[in-house]
Amino acid sequence: MHLRDGLQTHATVRQRYDHLVETGAIERDPAQERIAAALDRLTDEISAKRLAQKSSALGWLFARKRETHEAVKGLYIHGGVGRGKTMLMDMFFELLPVRRKRRVHFNDFMADVQDRIQKHRQARKNGSVKEDDPIPPVAKALAEQAWVLCFDEFSVTDIADAMILSRLFSALFASGVVLVATSNVAPENLYGDGLNRQLFLPFIGILERHARVLSLDADKDYRLEKLARTPVYVTPADAAADQMLDEAWQTMTHGAPTAETSLTLKGRQVVVPAAAGDAARFSFADLCEKPHGARDFLAIAGRFSTVFIDHIPVLGEGKRNEAKRFILLIDTLYDHHVRLVVSAEAPPPQLYVAKRGVEVFEFERTASRLIEMQSRDWLEDWAERQQVKGQTKKPEGRHGESPVATA
């Protein structure tokens, strides 16, 4: 801990950022440093509000009824893919000395909101609640759960979400909720071509009144530059390969916390053994030795932009079912332009050694695609597609999120 601007704080985003620069994990960038400074100022403001809340519960009760200019103003950080937005926000979230905080992919937050609204309407129908309008109780419950909300990939593509955002966030901000968000687009470009956009426009004003809008206009795509120096197909799949993939995982996730999560598909779960941000990591056995089908792979491709697969074996006659799933998996990841990082027992043309069956011919396509997905052209195209993905595509699955402290 240290003193800064007269306030005792925990380790700062800038300190964590400088450490990554000093260890060679990232390159120093003035635009990122400006965002780090803004996040540290916000930490100070939140900490001061938290101290005021603790010192006088009654005073805090009255403060919540005052004008919104007295509330802590959050941050909305926008910029291109690979500029470091998520890395910086994750540092802020980890270091923020607040227990009631929540970090979640924005689409998954809105899916949670829609689920809560549906449950309230069902409860109203059953007579267990009396309030007709579900927005106030839903917003109240969300604010009680977390008063600092961190959203990754803030985008609006669903009309059902667009139509409730103004009322929902007005209620959240009135409850003292502080918003920190990353996005590929500036607020005025949210829901740009959406149906009935004029009904959505008031939300933009509400957002800009309650969050400072900052542009992370770095000139380089650091993820792509780093990836260009990182092997994405490692063979053989031995201990050295494990270490290389571990290092690549740390590079691509910027050391963000990794946790198991799951995707919900019509009442069942697809387990993701390791997830951090928009990256997921599986073993070959996780994906291809279990009874997964096309819908499962589509959910993975829809949710994650980067997929790691460890320990792809050489496949023969006795592994036809596994080979079929692997062919389908690679086709799906290729079609959705997902970045792929793997360790394998052999180069792509030597992964399938069976001499008969339709899989022999289908695997030729798979090998070709595995080779293409290692190329610089593929990675550059991936980066360009990621630039617009947040504006045009809503994931099919659910994103894992950081736990919410309830104390």
What CATH number did the domain enclosing 104 receive?
Answer: 3.40.50.300
Are 34 and 218 spatial neighbours (Cβ–Cβ below 8 Å)? Answer: no
Rounded to an integer, what distance in angstroms lies between the CA atom of residue 362 and that of residue 357?
Answer: 9
Please write down the long-range contacts of 245-252, taking CB distance under 8 Å and 24 or more positions apart: 245/308, 245/310, 245/341, 245/342, 245/343, 248/308, 248/341, 249/274, 249/276, 249/279, 249/281, 249/308, 249/341, 250/25, 251/25, 251/226, 251/227, 252/223, 252/226, 252/227, 252/279, 252/306, 252/341
In a domain, 20, yes or no: yes
* Residue 406 domain flag: no
Residue 399 maps to a domain: no
Can you tell me the distance from the alpha carbon of 297 to that of 282, in angstroms, rounded to the nearest whole number?
12
Question: Residue 67: exposed, middle, or buried by beta-carbon count in 10 A (0-12, 13-18, 19+)?
Answer: exposed
Query: DSSP 3-state assignment of 355?
Result: coil
> For residue 404, is it within any domain?
no
Amino acid at 44: D
Full DSSP string of 1-23? -EEETTEEE-S-HHHHHHHHHHT
Judgement on whether residues 281 and 318 belong to the same structural domain of the protein: yes
* 240 and 171 part of one domain: no
Contacts of 206-210 with CB under 8 Å at 24 or more apart are 206/166, 206/169, 206/170, 206/173, 207/76, 207/169, 207/179, 208/76, 209/68, 210/68, 210/71, 210/73, 210/74, 210/169, 210/173, 210/179
Same domain, 253 and 368: yes
Q: How far is CA 197 from CA 194, 392, 393, in A?
A: 5, 15, 17
- Residue 376, pLDDT score: 76
Same domain for 187 and 230, yes or no, is no
Could you tell me the CA-to-CA distances from 281 to 7, 216, 302, 345 in Å, in that order?
40, 28, 15, 18
353 and 376 inside one domain: yes
> pLDDT tens digits for the chain (407 residues)?
444 444 444 589 999 999 888 888 788 888 899 999 999 999 999 988 877 666 655 454 454 444 434 689 999 999 877 788 888 999 999 999 889 999 988 888 888 999 999 999 988 888 887 788 899 999 999 999 999 999 988 888 888 888 899 999 999 999 999 999 999 888 888 888 788 888 888 999 999 999 999 988 755 555 556 555 677 899 998 999 999 999 889 878 876 788 899 898 877 889 999 998 889 999 999 999 999 988 899 999 988 989 999 999 999 888 889 999 999 999 999 988 899 999 999 999 999 988 877 788 888 889 999 998 888 778 777 777 765 554 444 433 333 343 333 32
Domains held by the chain: number: 2
Considering the domain architecture, whether residues 281 and 323 belong to the same structural domain is answered as yes
pLDDT of residue 399: 38
Tell me the backbone φ, ψ of residue 264, rounded to 5 degrees.
-95, 125
Asked if the structure places residue 405 within a domain, the reply is no
Domain assignment present for residue 397? The answer is no
Give the end of a domain, one of 218, 247, 269: 218
Same domain assignment for residues 274 and 177: no
Instruction: Identify whether the C-beta of residue 303 lies closer than 8 Å to the C-beta of residue 399.
Output: yes
Q: How many residues does the chain have?
A: 407
Q: 260 near 281, Cβ under 8 Å?
A: no
Residue 240 and residue 356 in one domain:
yes
Does any domain span residue 166?
yes
Q: Can you give the pLDDT at residue 70?
A: 65
Residue type, 283: S
If asked whether residues 145 and 276 sit together in one domain, one would say: no
Considering the domain architecture, whether residues 207 and 111 belong to the same structural domain is answered as yes
> Would you give the DSSP letter of residue 146?
-
Q: Which of 218, 246, 261 is the last residue of a domain?
A: 218
Q: Is residue 276 part of a domain?
A: yes
The answer to whether the CB of 308 falls within 8 A of the CB of 342 is yes
303 shares its domain with 286: yes
pLDDT at 358: 78
* Strand 178-183 to 279-283 pairing: unpaired
Angle between helices 358-372 and 320-335 (to 10 degrees): 40
Q: What is the DSSP letter of 141?
A: H
- Do 242 and 356 lie in a common domain? yes
Q: Find the domain containing 298 and state its range.
A: 226-391
3-class DSSP state of 175: coil
